Amino acid sequence: MSVMCMGRTRVLEQLGEKQDFEAELSRRGFRHEDFSLHVLPERTSAGGAGWDPRYEVSVSHAPTRTVRVYKAGPREDWVGRFAKDLVRGLYGEPSLGLRPGISAARPFA
């Protein structure tokens, strides 16, 4: 099952960021169904009338009720920052029973 995604989701699909996000979850042993993404234009104080490629991705983890907003857009690696938070334990422990250092792509004996 894939991660539920709301808002301006097309940008994540076009850039492959949703797939990268889901790959990190699988690699770290987290269930995709436990997370949701909400994509919004970046909140800025400048109300300019031009096109702005920056956006924000709100990541929600239902079991821990953790919500974190990542700035995204050109030169922003929000998926990388999310992966670091995942490893630090911000979103709790993996739910798929993986042992530390073992990737979901490689089952343990």
Residues 6+ apart with CB under 8 A from 82: 21, 24, 59, 68, 70
Q: What is the pLDDT of residue 95?
A: 82
Q: What is the pLDDT of residue 104?
A: 47
Which domains does the chain carry?
Answer: 4-43+53-88 (3.30.160)
DSSP conformation class of 33: G
Q: What is the pLDDT of residue 48?
A: 55
Q: What is the pLDDT of residue 108?
A: 41
Q: What is the pLDDT of residue 46?
A: 55
Q: What is the pLDDT of residue 106?
A: 45
DSSP conformation class of 89: T
Q: What is the pLDDT of residue 96?
A: 76
Q: What is the pLDDT along the chain (109 residues), one digit of tens a residue?
A: 689 999 999 989 999 999 999 999 999 999 999 999 999 987 764 555 556 689 999 999 999 999 999 999 988 999 999 999 999 999 999 987 655 554 444 444 3
